[in-house]
Structure 1
Amino acid sequence: MDAVPEDKLLRYTPDTMQALRRLYNLDKPGDMDFAITALQDWLKKQHHLTKKDYSRSYLERLIILQKGSLERSKAQIENICAMRTLLPEYFEINGDEEIVKLDGLSVDLLPTLTEDYYRVLAVKYSPHKIDAKKFFITYKRAIQLTEYAMASDYGRGLICIIDYRDVDIMDFIAAINIKELYQFIKIMTIGYALKIKYIHVITPSTTANTFINLVKKMLTTKIANRFYVHKTIEPLYEYVARDILPSEYGGHGEALADRHMKWVQALTSKKMTEHLKEMSEAKSTQGYKMKDTISDPDLGISGSFRSLNVD
Structure 2
Amino acid sequence: MTESTKRDILQINARTVQDVRKEYDLDKPGMMDQAIDILYDWIQKQEHFVKKDFRRDYLERIIISTKGSVEKAKKRMDKVCTMRTMVPNLFEKCHAKNDFPRLHDWYINLNMPTITDDKYRIFIAKINNKPLSASVFLEAYQFSVILCEYMKLHDYTIGYHVVVDLRDTNILDVVSKIDLVDLRNVMTLYTDGYGFRIKTIHVLSNSSMIGAFVDILKQILTAKLGQRISVCKTVEGLHEYLPKHLLPKDYGGEQKSISILYDQWLEELSLDKHVEYMEEMRGACTNETLRRPDKFNDDYLGMPGSFKMLHVD
| Same fold, judged at TM 0.5 (above) | yes
Q: Counterpart of 1:107?
A: 109
Structure 1 position 119, deviation (Å): 1.1
Instruction: Indicate the SS of the match to 1:21.
Output: helix
Q: Counterpart of 2:91?
A: 91
Matched, 1:240 2:249: no
Instruction: Indicate the SS of the match to 2:137.
Output: helix
Cα 1:276–1:101, aligned 2, differ >3 Å: closer, same or farther?
farther
Matched, 1:23 2:32: no
Q: Counterpart of 2:191?
A: 189
C-alpha contact (below 8 Å) 1:113/1:244 kept by paired residues: yes
- Counterparts of 1:138-149 in structure 2 under 5 Å? 138-149=140-151
Instruction: Indicate the SS of the match to 2:274.
Output: helix
Q: Deviations over 1:77-117 (max 9, x none)?
A: 10010010011111013657243751222211000011111
Instruction: Measure, in 1, the Cα distance between the counterparts of 2:114 and 2:269.
Output: 19
Structure 1's consecutive aligned runs of 4 or more residues displaced over 6 angstroms after TM superposition are none
Q: Counterpart of 1:66?
A: 66
Give the one of 221, 224, 227 matched to 1:225. Answer: 227
Structure 1 position 206, deviation (Å): 2.6
**Structure 1 regions of 5+ residues with no counterpart?**
297-311
Q: Counterpart of 2:176?
A: 174
Matched, 1:254 2:256: yes
Q: Deviations over 1:197-251 (max 9, x none)?
A: 0010000013121221122122111111111111111121122111110000000
Cα 1:94–1:24, aligned 2, differ >3 Å: closer, same or farther?
closer
Structure 1 position 47, deviation (Å): 1.4
Q: Counterpart of 1:285?
A: 287
Instruction: Measure, in 2, the Cα distance between the counterparts of 1:255 and 1:93.
Output: 26
C-alpha contact (below 8 Å) 2:93/2:99 kept by paired residues: no
Q: Deviations over 1:154-175 (max 9, x none)?
A: 1111110000001111112122
C-alpha contact (below 8 Å) 1:4/1:12 kept by paired residues: no
Instruction: Indicate the SS of the match to 1:128.
Output: coil
Q: Counterpart of 2:129?
A: 127
Instruction: Indicate the SS of the match to 2:118.
Output: coil
Cα 1:30–1:101, aligned 2, differ >3 Å: closer, same or farther?
farther
Instruction: Indicate the SS of the match to 1:243.
Output: helix
Q: How many residues align?
A: 294
Amino acid at match of 1:167: T
Structure 1 position 6, deviation (Å): 5.5
Amino acid at match of 1:92: E
Cα 1:171–1:223, aligned 2, differ >3 Å: closer, same or farther?
same
Amino acid at match of 1:273: V
Q: Counterpart of 1:37?
A: 37
Instruction: Indicate the SS of the match to 1:99.
Output: coil
**Structure 2 regions of 5+ residues with no counterpart?**
306-313
Instruction: Measure, in 2, the Cα distance between the counterparts of 1:65 and 1:239.
Output: 23
Single out whichever of 40-49 and 93-102 deviates more from structure 2: 93-102
Q: Structure 1 length as normaliser, TM-score? A: 0.89
C-alpha contact (below 8 Å) 1:120/1:158 kept by paired residues: yes
Instruction: Measure, in 2, the Cα distance between the counterparts of 1:143 and 1:100.
Output: 16
Q: Deviations over 1:18-54 (max 9, x none)?
A: 1111110011111111111111111111111111111
Amino acid at match of 1:22: K
RMSD value over aligned CA atoms?
A: 2.0
Instruction: Measure, in 2, the Cα distance between the counterparts of 1:80 and 1:101.
Output: 28
